[in-house]
Each structure stands twice: as C-alpha cells, then as structure tokens.
Chains A and B, each alone.
Chain A
Amino acid sequence: MTHDVAVHVKGYLAVFATLLVLTMVTVGVSYLHLPETPAVAIGLTIAVVKAALVAMFFMHLKGERPMVYWPLGLTAFLFVALIVCLLLTEADHLFGTRFDDAFSEGGD
C-alpha cells in the first residue's frame, strides 16, 4: 500500500514536470508571432494535451468506471456542438464565401 503511493507520487511529479515544459513551449511559440491559423492550432493542441494529462492522472480519469465516461462523453460532444454551431453562423466570413461582399466590392 505505502509502496503503491510512493510510485504514484513519482508519477504525479513526472506529470508536473511535463505540464511545466508544455507551458514554456506554448509561451515560447507565442513569441514567434506565427500566422493566426497555425498559432491557434498549436496553442489549442498544447492546451488539450495539458488538460488531458491533468484529467487522466490528477483527476484519476485513467481507469475510471464507464458511468463517468458516458456523461463526460456526452458533455464533450455537446461542448463541441455548442462551439461549432455558433461558429457556423460566421462560416461565410471565416471561409471567405460571402458572395454579396464580393459583388458589392466589384460593383462599386
């Protein structure tokens, strides 16, 4: 039992070190002033990895029961749907497919 906990503690410290390194990487990348798309992709990917490490190890999600995974899976789906559905209302603007703008620019 005591031995088990000692092993856990080492694991937690390893996760801590990884989280600190990832924090430095994401801050370092931000100083490169990359174009928006790669900057957002890298920034969010690092954030997702960090959040996953915290959830898996500190929140003991690794090896948790299915009764925790089901509601969380549904929540994750709804969270993504919430963001995507709202963003789709700006899809023309995001993907440059707003034809009326193109016409009015040409017509002026």
Chain B
Amino acid sequence: MEIPYTTEARPDTGLTNPKLGIWLFLASEVMLFGSLFSSYALLRSGAPTWPDQSEVLSVPLATLNTVILIASSVTMVLAWAALKSKSLPRYRLFMGLTLLGGALFLVVKAIEYGEKFSHGLYPATNNFLGLYFTLTGLHAIHVIAGMVVNAYLWGPGTRMWHTQPERFTNRIEVAGIYWHFVDVVWIFLFPVLYLL
C-alpha cells in the first residue's frame, strides 16, 4: 500500500504526513534530551563543588566540532536546494559533504574520548564526566543514526528520484530536519558542557 500524502498536504493537518511525523518524533526527542539536560542542571546546582569544565575538556576541539556540524547542516540544506533546482549530481555532492561532516565530527569526538580515557577520566569518575559521556554519547548515537539514513539517501535511495522526484525531494527535507535537530542539540551541549 502506498503511504498517503507524501507529496500533497493532508487537508486537515495542512502538512504532508512525513513532515508531521518528523516533527512529532523530534518533539519526543526534545523531551529525551530535556530529561538529561534537567539532570545536569539539578546535579550541578546541588553540587558543593564542580570542576572547571573548560579545564577538563578541550574547548578548541569542541569549537572545531561545532563548526563541522554547522557546516554539515548547511550542506544538507544545499542538497535539498539542489533537488529543488532539479540537479541530482549537485545533490549527491552536497549530501556526500554532509556525510563527510558527520564522519569528521565522530572522528574528533573519538579523539576527545580517547584523550579522556588515557588520563583515567571515565563516566564513573565524577558527576560531571558521567553527564558529559551520557549527553555526548547519546548525541553521537543520533549523529550515527542520521548518517545511516543520509548514506541510504545518497546511495541506493536515489532510485526514487527517477520515478517520484517530488517525493524524494520531500524525503531529503525530512531527513534534513532531523539532521538540523542533531545540530541544534550540539549547539546547546557545546556551551553547557564546555564553556560555562
């Protein structure tokens, strides 16, 4: 059976079904990350002492990762814009760059984790590191999940472009909305865990 309303808006919601679906999913994601952010706020405000976060973690590496993730958000939206102007090769280029951005982000993150471990800093070391590894770990899982979807849409998924171009373009928009959400989470994690 065909999924209804993938290209035209459903009359009662005014939206395509995938668009409504991704936003409802992201609403649940906000609450998932919200529970961890509130745990952070509670544990930090209740703690008699708190480590100087920018001393424990590497601000330069996190700044680099912020720039990488923002850039990959831009290439994601440019991939969608390429399909809007009917250029599959340009789409593939920008989607490829988006995947590269995600991979670079994970490499930098792995270097950071490795640094911590080599200094004997683990999630069990203290509350701050417990929160740091939980929040950034959950975020990294989201990056990986987004990359799996994006890789499919970059590779075999492009078949749909030749049969249902409009539906494929909407898929990229919806995958993009998820990818930008992952960027938004990082935009909050960066100051909260590294700078403040």
Interface residues of A (CB under 8 A from B): 1-2, 4-6, 8-9, 12-13, 15-16, 19-20, 23, 26-27, 29-30, 36, 39-40, 43-44, 46-47, 50-51, 54-55, 57-60, 65-68, 71-72, 74-76, 78-79, 82-83, 86-87, 89-90, 93-94
- Complexed CA–CA distance, A76 and B73 (Å): 22
Binds A, one of B12-20, B136-144, B149-157, B158-166: B12-20
Cβ of B45 and Cβ of A30 under 8 Å apart?
no
In the complex, what residue of chain B is closest to A55 when comparing beta carbons? B184
Binds A, one of B27-35, B103-111, B115-123: B27-35
List 18 A–B pairs whose Cβ atoms lie within 8 Å, in order of A's numbering: A16-B74, A23-B70, A27-B59, A30-B191, A40-B196, A44-B191, A47-B187, A54-B180, A59-B180, A65-B9, A68-B20, A72-B27, A75-B30, A86-B42, A87-B38, A87-B41, A90-B45, A94-B45
Cβ of B188 and Cβ of A47 under 8 Å apart?
yes
Say whether chain A's binding surface is mostly helix, strand, loop, or mixed: helix
A19-B70, A27-B59 as given contacts; A90 in contact with B42, CB under 8 Å = yes
The interface residues of chain A lying within 8 Å CB-to-CB of B38 are: 82-83, 86-87
Q: How many residues of B contact A (CB 8 A)?
A: 50
The interface residues of chain A lying within 8 Å CB-to-CB of B78 are: 9, 12
The interface residues of chain B lying within 8 Å CB-to-CB of A2 are: 85
